[in-house]
């Protein structure tokens, strides 16, 4: 069957076909067997696989088409349930291309339609062939044990805003307690889908919604397990710790890291210094002050928490200055003042050159520091 | 008056024919199982608890399939007949009647179902076309 799917990409078509296959494989298989039996009674002895698939597909579509047209005629008459006349009208619509006796008659009563006569003729002439296998009624609908409502369990909802006919909340133990056997966790997942939809707590709702989306893709049908079962040890479901509840140990930086820091901090300095040859006198000052800065940074690292690491970056001069230890506050102020006073040019040539300038001033103001 | 009476009689006949036919359907077991028909009818919104109507739809579908198959069988036999004339050898004749895609697509064409395969696929729109400047 060539549908008019000109605008679809091949991937979309493949996906659609796969989806169709997944849902309907059982029905299609039965249709194939039935069609093969009918063709065998007609006289065929063998089939090409593709031809059989094609014909069974057409037969299924035919059934659906009859259903559609019959439903249409029933709705047209203001009914939802179809009766024999709706089916006859539907069949007439489908057989118009082939034609039947009395197709052109206007006032024909439906009960005397040519279609019925042809079908009754067919029934009387053809031999009755039963289906080869016994078919169970499908699709099988699994029974879901839905959670009972507040009324059914005799509970009262916690707030007035919740009407009592809604399903009740799950046991608090199912979503607050932690330590249980992890083996139960796999079984918890199916009923978690149900429970998560009903938990109203905003704190964990987002996380659980994400779960519900990911887990609804699993081919697991709701098992309607007991709500009272505890959840597995899932750290994401635990209540968050209050600040100060748990002791956090301070992490002292090992000596290696400190050196690396200073090396890193020297890196940008040297680069920028080399780029700025105009500040020739600064070069020497930088080198000489490098040792001082190193010592200073070491002091900084020893005193402050490790979060305050001295990394000198472009464009964040103010931050760096803020991070430097308090001893140099005076220089901070002085540095700022100098910058404002300085030329616009200097300001423009990246903020970096200020770093060596700072060092220069640092060395210049040795007396202040020491 | 007579005309009306005649019409009424005809109507009664038709209705009785229909009811008789539906009654006979309860005995007749169509090849297409009821569950399959119910499944596909449910998919298209058809609601009816009556078994006879389900059987009616099943019989109608069976009739349709048998008609298409008969048409394809005729095509197959016609093809074999031509083959035999060419070869003039009975042993080479394929005695088994196998349903081909070609025969089926021709049969379905009669019923308004377009089930043709592409005969060939071209690499580009101009594949196989003779270039004009070469003609002199």
Residues of B in contact with A115 (CB under 8 A): 60
A139 preceded by cis ω (within 30°)? yes
With a cut of 70, say whether residue A327 has pLDDT above it. no
Residue B35 lies in a domain: yes
With a cut of 60, say whether residue A64 has pLDDT above it. yes
pLDDT at residue A358 in the model: 46
Contact status of A93 with chain B (Cβ, < 8 Å) = no
Residue B126 lies in a domain: no
Other CB atoms within 10 Å distance of the CB of residue A17: 10
Average pLDDT over residues A267-285: 49
Distance from CA of A129 to the nearest CA of B (A): 5
pLDDT at residue A369 in the model: 44
Q: Residue B98 carries which DSSP code? A: E
Comparing A230-234, A301-305, B107-111, the range with the smallest average pLDDT is A301-305
The residue among A266, A251, A268 whose CA lies nearest residue A313 is A268
Q: pLDDT tens-digit profile of A194-204?
A: 555 555 455 45
Position A322 confidence tier, pLDDT thresholds 50, 70, 90: very low
State whether A67 and B45 contact (CB < 8 Å): yes
DSSP symbols for A183-198? HHHHHHHHHHHHHHHH
Residue B117 lies in a domain: no
Residue B39 lies in a domain: yes
Residue B34 lies in a domain: yes
With a cut of 60, say whether residue B2 has pLDDT above it. yes
With a cut of 80, say whether residue A88 has pLDDT above it. yes
Q: How many domains does chain B have?
A: 1
Answer with the residue of higher pLDDT: B133 or A71: A71
pLDDT at residue A290 in the model: 46
Residue window 53-112, chain B: list those with CB within 8 Å of chain A.
Answer: 53, 56-57, 59-66, 68-70, 72-73, 76, 96-101, 103-104, 108, 110-112
B42-47, long-range: CB < 8 A, 24+ apart: B42/A67, B43/A64, B43/A67, B44/A64, B44/A65, B44/A67, B44/A68, B44/A71, B45/A67, B45/A68, B45/A71, B46/A66, B46/A67, B46/A68, B46/A70, B46/A71, B46/A82, B47/A71, B47/A80, B47/A81, B47/A82
pLDDT at residue A174 in the model: 84
Q: Which residue of B has its CA nearest to A74?
A: B46
Comparing A18-22, A209-213, A297-301, A306-310, the range with the smallest average pLDDT is A297-301
With a cut of 90, say whether residue A73 has pLDDT above it. yes
Distance from CA of B85 to the nearest CA of A (A): 22
Answer with the residue of higher pLDDT: A2 or A74: A74
Position A362 confidence tier, pLDDT thresholds 50, 70, 90: very low
pLDDT at residue A222 in the model: 43
Q: Which of A254-263, A296-305, B90-99 has the highest mean pLDDT?
A: B90-99
Residue B10 lies in a domain: no
With a cut of 90, say whether residue A159 has pLDDT above it. no
Residue B51 lies in a domain: yes
CB A36 within 8 A of CB B14: no
Interface test with B, best of A131, A135, A139 (most B CBs within 10 A): A131
Q: Which residues contact A133 (CB under 8 A, 6 or more apart)?
A: A30, A33
Other CB atoms within 10 Å distance of the CB of residue B20: 11
Q: pLDDT tens-digit profile of A338-356?
A: 544 445 454 454 444 444 4
Q: pLDDT tens-digit profile of B48-80?
A: 888 899 999 999 999 999 999 999 999 999 988
Full domain range(s) for residue B44: 16-87+96-109
pLDDT at residue A190 in the model: 53
Residue B81 lies in a domain: yes
């Amino acid at each position: 069957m060539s549908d008019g799917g000109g605008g679809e990409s091949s991937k979309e078509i493949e996906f659609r076909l796969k989806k169709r296959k997944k849902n309907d494989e059982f029905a299609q298989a039965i249709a194939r067997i039935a069609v093969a039996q009918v063709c065998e009674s007609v006289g065929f002895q063998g089939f090409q696989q593709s031809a059989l698939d094609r014909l069974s597909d057409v037969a299924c579509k035919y059934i659906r088409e009859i259903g559609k047209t019959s439903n249409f005629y029933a709705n047209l008459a203001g009914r939802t349930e179809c009766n024999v006349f709706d089916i006859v009208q539907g069949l007439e619509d489908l057989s118009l291309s082939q034609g039947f006796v009395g197709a052109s008659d206007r006032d024909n009563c439906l009960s005397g339609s040519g279609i019925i006569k042809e079908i009754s003729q067919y029934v009387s002439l053809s031999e009755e062939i039963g289906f080869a296998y016994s078919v169970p009624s499908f699709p099988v609908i699994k029974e879901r044990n839905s959670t009972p409502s507040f009324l059914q369990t005799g509970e009262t909802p916690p707030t007035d805003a919740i009407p009592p006919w809604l399903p009740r909340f799950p046991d608090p133990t199912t979503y607050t307690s932690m330590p249980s056997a992890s083996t139960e966790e796999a079984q918890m997942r199916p009923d978690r889908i149900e429970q998560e939809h009903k938990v109203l707590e905003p704190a964990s709702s987002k996380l659980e919604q994400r779960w519900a989306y990911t887990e609804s893709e699993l081919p697991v049908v709701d098992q309607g397990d007991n709500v009272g079962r505890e959840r597995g040890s899932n750290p994401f479901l635990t209540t968050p710790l209050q600040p100060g509840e748990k002791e956090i140990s301070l992490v002292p930086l090992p000596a290696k890291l400190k050196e690396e820091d200073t090396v890193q901090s020297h890196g940008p300095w040297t680069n920028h210094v080399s780029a700025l040859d105009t500040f020739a006198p600064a070069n020497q000052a930088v080198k000489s002050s490098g040792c001082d800065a190193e010592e200073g940074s070491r002091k900084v690292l020893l005193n402050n928490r490790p979060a305050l690491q001295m990394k000198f970056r472009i464009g964040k001069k103010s931050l760096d200055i803020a991070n430097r230890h308090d001893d140099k506050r005076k220089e901070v102020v002085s540095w700022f003042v100098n910058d404002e006073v300085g030329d616009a040019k200097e300001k423009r040539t990246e903020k970096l050159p200020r770093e060596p300038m700072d060092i220069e001033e640092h060395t210049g103001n040795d007396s202040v520091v020491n | 008056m007579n005309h009306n009476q005649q019409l009424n009689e005809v109507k009664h006949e038709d209705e009785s024919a229909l009811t008789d036919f539906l009654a006979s359907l309860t005995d007749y077991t169509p090849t297409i199982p009821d569950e399959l028909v119910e499944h596909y009818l449910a998919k298209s919104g058809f609601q009816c608890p009556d078994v006879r109507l389900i059987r009616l739809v099943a019989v109608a579908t069976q009739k349709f399939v048998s008609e298409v198959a008969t048409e394809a069988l005729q095509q197959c036999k016609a093809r074999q007949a031509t083959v035999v004339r060419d070869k003039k050898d009975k042993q080479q004749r394929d005695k088994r009647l196998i349903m081909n895609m070609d025969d089926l697509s021709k049969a379905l064409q009669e019923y308004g179902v377009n089930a043709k395969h592409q005969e060939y696929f071209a690499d580009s729109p101009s594949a196989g076309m003779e270039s004009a400047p070469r003609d002199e």
